[in-house]
Structure formats: structure tokens, C-alpha cells
Amino acid sequence: MNRLFRRLPAVDVLLAALSETETFRNIPRTLLRDAINAFLDGKRNAVRNGTIRDEKELALAALLPELRDFVRTARYASLRQVINGTGIVAHTNLGRSLLSQKALDAVLMAGKYYTNLELDLRTGLRGSRHSHVEPLLCRIVKTEAALAVNNNAAAVFLVLDTFCRGKEVILSRGELVEIGGSFRIPDIMTKSGALLREVGTTNRTRIGDYAQAITENTAALMKVHPSNYRITGFHEEASVRDVALLGKQRGIPVFVDLGSGNLYDFASHAAAEFACLSQDEPMAQRIAADGADLILFSGDKILGGPQAGIIAGRKKYIEVLKKNPLARVLRLDKLTLAALEATLELYLEPGMAARHVPTLNMILLPEPLLRQKAEKLADILEAALKNAGAPVTARIRPGCSRIGGGAFPERDLPTSLVCLEPTASSFTVESLRAALLHADTPVLGRIEDNGFLLDPRTIAEEEFPLVAKSLQQAAAIAHDSELSEK
């Protein structure tokens, strides 16, 4: 073993060898050294556990190609581009919404140049960062005032902390939901110091249940959109309109956590699959019109903007929220504000939003167009597979996409899928999935039966060549591991 250890090339020898290539010369030497040390550690372990027995395997020429690959991989940024072939449009694990070109341009501007973030250009005096999106939100949602914070969880917390600390909030048992990522409505209430007063039952809550629970210690009536969860069958809930009316009669504010929050009128589409979406995700405009005092929703779910939490409603409440020191803790940064303003501006004209906000655009892709995209993707992938001599076929089959982001949990949108099927017994669909995950640009999809499914709804045409490249890499990785098994 010691003899083998001594055969391992020195760090400086490997460093010099790598530095002969342009790609590696541009990497800071300390980082290269770290990567080489990690690589050598791996080799020492392989010697220790007997995987490497032959000193030929430790020769410089034998190690170099592997080292280059290792350093290249070690140099990946932690946050990387991936291909979303899952068909889930606002996929929380994949960063939810993509930004429109207008929003991207705004982010670039705000990052590259100084801005009037907190400067009033009319007076030259100090301004408010809230001023950039508030007028737009008021115009779109049709409320007196609005405030945007870090995310919707922050919005809920800020509202509870401001108005409900030490007091009771009345909420239906059917709305005590967990959204995922450990956001549970009861927990966030406890944390804010608000006292949860549950009313009704899991499946049925009537307006009378709210009315009966009101005491002098009631700070608010609250409704929460159940998001990724649905009660069907014997079910009844009080409408926002009824709860708002009750609140008005008794002088108690009504807060509605809409979750996803939707500003787009899906009912304006004749196609049944789109028209029905507005039942699941009522427009924020409608909830405001129904009389809610504050409505809260995410910026990066169906809205299709950057991560943000939007609070829209009565001025007398929004002004109090702005003065809470927590609003400073939860405030938006300039890049997000820039992206949010640009995204909201598109909503001033719904047709523009549908065309240019990627989340809306992907949801609204018509079936025939998806079929065309699938055919094009399948052609490109087939050519790549043939080129690589990979034992995988690509064909098209009908299927469904999901919208994600906790919205529309039961709505499937029809789509055409590209189905990749391994044809060699040694190359399973599971190994194809793993290999695609480890490609330079990881590709994510779904496994069903014996196929790896890619949904063109969430893959841009400009990404098709990248998918082909990753598939070729995956075939090569799978091929290599097959050889090493033999």
C-alpha cells in the first residue's frame, strides 16, 4: 500500500499539468489546489479500500483525464441551470417562476447602475422603496394601498405580528393547512404571538361559526387558501364575501391569505381547461372586491414574478404595517423590486401578461403547439441518441402537466410528452434518470412505466440543444458505468 501511495503524483505536478490547458489557467490556483487535494484524497481512499491495486492506474497519464473531469465538476457553481422537463410550471424546488425579458432587463439595470431606490426624483429628498410597486398593485388589484415584502410567509407573519399579537384570530379548521417547506398556518400564528381560535370542522364551516366565536379579544377573521390540498364531497365553507360582511358588522378586520394569488382572468379563455382554472385560484381583484381588508399572496407562484409577498388592501392597515420595524426586516431588495415592477406592469394589459410572463405563457400553451414542440424535441434527441449510439429510443405520447406552486392541485393540463425508453437490459430507466441528473446541465423529468418523460411545456425551444447534449453525456456515463461493472 505504501508503495502505491508513493506512486501518486505530487500536487504541484498535477497543478502544472492542468495549467497547460487554457480552461484551467483561468481558475484561481488556490481553488485548483483544493480540487486536486480532494481528488488525491479520493485516490488514497481507493488504495486503502483496495479498489486500486495496480500502480499503472496512478500514472499521471492515467489520472489526468479523470482529474480534468473532477476539477470541471468541482468548479460548478452551487446554484446552476437545470432543465425542467417535469411539466410542473411553478416548481418550488426548481425556483418557481421564470422572469419575463422585461423583468430581466429591469434586474440588470438595477444591478448595474445606481437607482432612485429611496430617492424622490420630484423633490430630490429621501423617498420610499415602497413607492415603486404600490401604485401598480393598487391599480391592478383595485385596493387603496399595498406593500410588498420578502415572501408570502413573511407577509402572513407581518400581518399577524402587527394586528394580532396577544389576541385571537378566528380561522376555519378546514384551513389549518401546511403549505410545504414546513410552513404551517398554526405554527406561524404561534410564532407571531397570535392566538388561534379554530372554528367549524375539517369539512364544514359556516358563517355562524365565525360569528359565535367573536369576543372582545378577537383581532381578526382570517381565511387561508388551502393551496395544494382540496376537500371534496360533503364540504361547506363561508365565502370571503360573507366573512367580510360579518367583519364589517362587528368592526373586525378580515385578512385573506390567497397563497398563490392570481391576477389573470383565466375565465376569459374559451377552452374549458383554462376557464376552469379561475375557480381554483380566484383573482385577487375579486377577493378585494368581496370586501377583504387585506389580501396576501406570493409574487413567484402563478403571478410569475420574483419571490415576494404582496399585501394589498385598506390604507389604514397598510400604513400601520409599514411602520412595524419587522417591515424593515422583511423588506425587498432592489433587484426584486425591479423585477416585480416590470412584471406587474405587464398585467396592466392582460394580453401582454399572457404573452410575456413565462409562467402564464406556459400554462396557456395550447395542445397543438405542445405537440409541435414535442415533435421537434423528439427529433433533436433522436438524432443525438443515434450519434452517440445510445441504447435509448425517443417517442411521443399524450400526457398531463401540473401547474405547481401549491396551485391547482387537481388540474391536469393536456400535453404531449417525449418518452425516452432504454432498449438495453443493462441500461435501466432509473440509471438514465441518474445520469441525466449528473450531466453538465442536469435534466429533470418524470418516470412512468419504463419511460423517462420530458414535458415540452416547461422546456424552452432554445434549451433543446442543451437537452440533447445532456442526453449524450448521460448515455456516455451510463455506458462507462456498464463497462466498469463488466
Ligand X SMILES: *Cc1c(COP(=O)(O)O)cnc(C)c1O
Q: Least CB distance from residue 287 to ligand X, whole Å?
A: 13
Q: Least CB distance from residue 255 to ligand X, whole Å?
A: 12
Q: Give how far Cα 24 sits from Cα of 66, 68, 298, Å.
A: 14, 9, 42
Of the candidate spans 23-31, 64-72, 222-230, 422-430, the one that interacts with ligand X by CB under 6 A turns out to be 222-230
Of the candidate spans 22-30, 108-116, 224-232, 363-371, the one that interacts with ligand X by CB under 6 A turns out to be 224-232
Which residues are paired to 262 by β-bridges? 283
Among 15, 33, 117, 183, binds ligand X (CB under 6 A): 183
Among 82, 110, 224, 429, binds ligand X (CB under 6 A): 224
> Which residue lies nearer to ligand X by CB, 70 or 183?
183
The DSSP output letter for 405 is T
Q: One-letter amino acid identity for 242? A: D
Q: Least CB distance from residue 303 to ligand X, whole Å?
A: 10
Of the candidate spans 10-18, 28-36, 220-228, 448-456, the one that interacts with ligand X by CB under 6 A turns out to be 220-228
Among 298, 336, 416, 472, binds ligand X (CB under 6 A): 298
**Contact flag: residue 406 with ligand X (CB under 6 A):** yes
Q: Least CB distance from residue 316 to ligand X, whole Å?
A: 24
Whether 439 contacts 470, CB under 8 Å:
yes
In degrees rounded to 5, what are phi and psi of residue 445? -150, -165
Whole-angstrom distance, CA of residue 406 vs CA of residue 418: 25
Chain positions 34 to 93 lying near ligand X, rule: CB under 6 A, are: none
Tell me the HSE value of 69 on the side-chain side, using a 13 A CA sphere: 10
**Contact flag: residue 451 with ligand X (CB under 6 A):** no
Whole-angstrom distance, CA of residue 380 vs CA of residue 348: 38
Which helix (H) or strand (E) segment holds residue 398: the answer is strand 392-401
Among 225, 334, 411, 457, binds ligand X (CB under 6 A): 225
Q: Is 51 exposed, middle or buried (0-12, 13-18, 19+ CB in 10 A)?
A: exposed
Q: Which of 295, 299, 330, 298 is nearest to 314 (CA)?
A: 295
Q: Least CB distance from residue 133 to ligand X, whole Å?
A: 15
Among 179, 302, 344, 353, binds ligand X (CB under 6 A): 179
**Contact flag: residue 432 with ligand X (CB under 6 A):** no
Integer-rounded Cα Rg, in Å, for the chain is 27
- Interface positions with ligand X (CB under 6 A): 151-153, 156, 179, 183, 224-225, 227, 257, 259-260, 298, 309, 406
